[in-house]
Structure 1
Amino acid sequence: MSLLTIIILLVLLLNTIAAIFTVLRSVRDISTTWAWLLVLIFLPVIGFGIYLFAGRGLSTKKVHAIQTEYRRGTKAFVAMQKHANTHGRLLPAAVTSTAAKELTTLFLNTASAPVLGDNSVDLFFDGKKKFAKLFEDIEAATDHVFVEYYTFYNDELGNQFRDLLIKKAKQGVKVLVLYDAWGSLGANKKFWAPLLAAGAKAEAYFSSQHLITDFRLNYRLHRKIVVIDDDIGFIGGFNVGDQYVSRKKKFGFWRDTHLRIRGNTVYALKVQFLMDWNATVPDDQAEPYDIDVAPLSPENLATRHLHLGSAPMQIVASGPDSSAQQIKYGYVKMIASATKSIRLQTPYLIPDDTAMDALITAALAGIDVQVMVPDMPDHPFIFRATQYYANYLSRYGIKIYHYQNGFLHAKTLVIDDVVASVGSANFDIRSFKLNFEVNAFIYDAKIAEQLTAAFDEDLKHSQLLTPALIKSQGHWLRFKQYFSRLLSPVL
């Protein structure tokens, strides 16, 4: 053998040994372990560069900061409820669904998430309408505006949003903005400088100045929360950018789902935001949880003319700081509890074995399972992996629909038209394990029926995946699907 051949073989051998040592020294599930081994072995040297930024776990310091703030926030919220004489542990008597009762117990045990009633909810499926209402609500703010988004684009909508926040900050309103550094690459220091100059604050969630030694690309803040004056809260799937108001030709109409909430649940959103904020900033910049007020009392709600006794829900957050995959547990429990129908919308369909088995089991048990995914990519590998799982699940009688009226970004799950979930979490491994997510789980038949009606309307613009369509997919496309599926645990 030539010297060059020996060197190459030696490098490959050392690379393989290093890959095995690197991956196996961390506790991971088997699928993730094999996915990273594939990356490190088949991309010699380069794979380690990818792993450096995307494969390492959260630092112990960051996990401690998150968990410490979680305990503080939970303790404050429990105290607030006790002071208001409403402990948020029981559903209203009108809610008799066994699925709802079991789901609420699950979240009390895994996420310390109280059931909060006395809410009024507006649904938004169009970004133009959602942001028009959001901006109107921010315009009317008199005390504070707390904003948390995965993506802020430096484009027309992003600048419009930022400029509105600048205006409110100059009026003396407290403005706090939390965003993801990787998801908001265009929103750099120059973008935020005018907002900071106006007296507001903007922070990247767990950004690090030591990009080589402490940068974790794989763990993203994917939550979308806005809280205005402790009176109005927003949660759902829309980010901030022109594509989310259907201004990008590449995507066309952007179909998403978002909630506007008034009532007790606003305080759960506020506490979640403050936990994220306080875990990010130094202790001397932390915000108080305001536990000395009684915002949950019926008297307080009555003064704001809210409809008491409506739309009970739980705000459930999950993330890589905890081994409990709270939102995934909720999805699986909902699917297992269904007796008639399951309606799931997700832009990324990359379930782990547990979630996939739940869908298959439901379908084989005679439940009408319908899943809607986009018919166009925004991330090529993720789109091909979604196609793979769509093809696979359709074999078991699950109806897979490809939405063709633009891009489907909604993250909704409805069972039996009585229990629903809306939030930031996709039905994929990344949302289950790697991202910081937040969802509203809603125990209100009227809202569930509205979401089902929206799903049925979307069916008019969707194509059912059939065996003939799967058979027509070419060999190259099938290869890309299978290859992407191998990488699905780390996508």
Structure 2
Amino acid sequence: MWIGLVLGGIVALNAGLAMVTVLRQPRDISATWGWLLVLLLIPVAGFGLYWLFGRKIASSKLNALLNQQRLGIDRAVAAQQEAVALGAGLIGRATAEAGVPELVRTLLQADGALVTTLNQATLITTRPAFNDRLFTAVRAARQHVHIEAYTIEPDATGQALRDLLTQRAAAGVLVRILYDPFGSHRLTQAFWQPLRDAGGQVTPFIAGRLARANPRINFRNHRKLAVIDGSLGFLGGFDIGSSPKRVAITRDTALALRGSAVAVLQARFLMDWNTAAKAQRVAMADTYFPKPRANGQVTLQIVSGGPEQPLEAIKLGYLRLIAMAKHSVWLQSPYFVPDESLLDALTIAINAGIDVRIMVPRVTAQPLMAKATRFYLDRLVRVGAQVYFYQAGFLHNKVMVVDGRYLVTGTANLDIRSFSLNFEIAAFVYSTDLAKAAAAQFTKDCAASLRYTHAMAKVKPRRTRLAEELSRLLAPIL
């Protein structure tokens, strides 16, 4: 009898601890139930899984992010919000198109995403082209180089960039590198020593007391951007270097920017740097925000996403754009694990006759995510979506093209982690030329892809379906 009482007490204690652990911080209801089930059904070991995947980031860190001043950008955002409320057009002729003012206002309200105009923007779609542009820009830097990265590998590319940065720092250029210690876990302190010796500054993003040994999987800085002399910026999915243990990434996308949008990237970097840096915080100064010289035709909004936000700004932008679609919605993402709102938006578009196409890689380095991806793709292919499995390596693109007129690209995958758990960044681009270029690349990628049909989904073995279903159940906490 006493054994039963002890076991009952253990179960009750485990249940109580599970409730306190999960409910003490707000989170999505599906994730709440998911973690409760894990902790209740897997006593003791479940808390180990929660330590790795489920812990929320410290509120002090989130408050530091929220409290960073963005020079005059916040005031500019308030002025733009007021202008949109009064019916003013902010992005030229496109504001006359149905849904565009509402999209602009959504992003302004959700993230304070400043509308910038007269930018020059170039689409970069291959790693060699990206590396060449970045290295050339760093080589030409005269004042400062700011790089924020999720993954920097200590391979030939990573070492070459470090050596170039070391040369520029020795020549008097201010060099600051902000990296995620999980995504860049192969780096060592010795790797950065030459750059530090030359006067460069390097810091991990919110590493905490455990630094590189921090086991937390979520709440990672997945942003990837670079700002050179405050006048040239890069934003996109490219990592620096290649891991020997990963599937080779053969397709990705980035934007090279000149114009007023670079100031937004600069502000984003400095906010993140000042949150992570301890003794090397940077005072906001005009020298980091030179007057733009570009005279381009591209209008865009740069949107940040992160767990400090009360709203999932990037996802809201996706939902609004899908609702605006009149003809087509084309998506590329390494992973496709949407929540119900995004899944419903795409289903509504398909049922309304919109040409919805989704492309994911056939092979990935994350088998659990791949299985969950296929579960959701089966749901959409059943109602008429066109689905493609890219076969020429790992498709790392994060791109959406709507009606051949609007483009979104950045670092956010189409999954719950990117929209609510990690720190991400994306550009919502109001440019027919760039959208058409991205659509043309999508069409080219189709030639290297396998079309996946509902007939193929129906003949899957039962064990494959079961594995995908089980993976889907973990989607809210992946």
1:389 paired residue number: 376
Deviation of 1:242 (Å):
2.0
- 1:221 is paired with a residue whose SS is coil
Q: Corresponding residue for 1:67?
A: 66
Aligned to 1:18: 17
Question: 1-side partners of 2:218 and 2:324: how far apart?
Answer: 32
The Cα shift of 1:421 comes to 0.5
> How much is the aligned-residue C-alpha RMSD, in angstroms?
2.7
The answer for the alignment partner of 2:255 in structure 1 is: 259
Match of 2:189 in 1: 189
Is the aligned partner of 1:338 residue 2:338?
no
Say if 1:100 and 1:419, in contact at 8 Å, map to a contact too: no
Structure 1 CA distance, aligned partners of 2:74 and 2:225?
17
2:285 corresponds to: 290
* TM-score of the superposed pair, with normalisation by structure 1: 0.90
Q: For residue 316 of structure 1, report the CA deviation from its aligned partner.
A: 0.7
Shift of 1:238: 0.8
Q: Are 1:307 and 2:295 matched, yes or no?
A: yes
Instruction: Note if contact 2:388-2:451 (Cα within 8 Å) is conserved in structure 1.
Output: yes
Match of 1:281 in 2: 277
In the aligned structure 1, how far is the partner of 2:180 from the partner of 2:228?
Answer: 20
**Aligned partners of 2:118 and 2:259 also within 8 Å:** yes
Which consecutive segments of 4 or more residues in structure 1 shift more than 3 A? 5-14, 74-82, 86-89, 93-96, 210-217, 291-296
TM alignment of 1:193-212, pairs within 5 A: 193-210=193-210
Q: Deviations over 1:68-98 (max 9, x none)?
A: 11xx11645647999xxx9998112466433
1:366 deviates by 0.9
* Partner Cα separation in structure 1 for residue 92 and residue 71 of structure 2: 22
* 1:267-292 CA-partner distances (Å, limit 9, x unpaired): 1111111111111123x632233248
Q: For residues 378 and 9 of structure 1, do their structure 2 counterparts lie closer, same or farther at Cα, with a shift above 3 Å needed?
A: farther
Matched with 2:311 is 324
Q: CA separation in 2, counterparts of 1:461 and 1:142? A: 41
Match of 2:445 in 1: 458
Q: Deviations over 1:322-367 (max 9, x none)?
A: 1210000000000011011001111110111111111111111111
* Counterpart amino acid of residue 364 in structure 1: N
Residue 434 of structure 2 is aligned to residue 435 of structure 1:
no
**1:348–1:428 contact (8 Å) kept in structure 2:** yes
Tell me the secondary structure at the aligned position of residue 36 of structure 2.
helix
Deviations 1:159-183 (A, max 9, x none): 1221111111111110000011111
Q: Aligned to 1:268, what secondary structure does the other structure show?
A: helix
TM-score, normalised to structure 2, is 0.92
* Pair 1:125–1:249, CA change in 2 (3 A): farther
Alignment of 1:483 with 2:467, yes or no, is no
Going from structure 1 to structure 2, the CA distance change for 1:279 and 1:294 (only over 3 Å counts) comes to closer
Name the CA distance, whole Å, in 2 between partners of 1:363 and 1:316.
26
Q: Tell whether the 8 Å contact from 2:74 to 2:112 is kept in structure 1 after alignment.
A: no
5+ residue gaps, structure 1 = none
User: What's the CA shift for 1:100?
Assistant: 2.9
> For residue 392 of structure 1, what is the amino acid of its counterpart?
R
Report Cα offsets for 1:275-324 as digits up to 9, x if no partner.
Answer: 11111123x6322332489744xxx52xxxx334x011111101001121
Give the aligned residue type for 2:185.
L
Deviation at 1:215, TM superposition (A): 6.8
Q: Secondary structure at the match of 1:343?
A: strand
Deviation at 1:204, TM superposition (A): 0.7
Offset, 1:34: 1.9
**Corresponding residue number in structure 2 for 1:404:** 391
Identity %, equivalent residues: 38
Measure how far apart 1:14 and its partner are. Answer: 3.7
CA deviation after TM superposition for structure 1 residue 118, in Å: 1.4
Distance in 1 between residues matched to 2:148 and 2:367, nearest whole Å: 27
Deviation at 1:240, TM superposition (A): 1.2
Shift of 1:434: 0.2
- Give the number of equivalent residue pairs: 472
Mean CA deviation greater in 229-238 or 208-217: 208-217
For 1:366, what is the secondary structure of its paired residue? coil
Contact 1:76 1:291 in 2 (8 A): no
**For 1:439 and 1:294, how far apart are their aligned partners in 2?**
20
Q: CA deviation at 1:401?
A: 1.1
1:415 aligns with 2:402: yes
- Shift of the 466–214 alpha-carbon distance from structure 1 to 2, 3 Å rule, reads closer
Aligned to 1:43: 42
* Cα distance in structure 2, aligned partners of 1:161 and 1:387: 37
Q: How far, CA to CA, are the matches of 1:108 and 1:225 in structure 2?
A: 21
Structure 2 gaps of 5+ residues are: none
In 2, the alpha carbon distance for the partners of 1:280 and 1:291 equals: 22
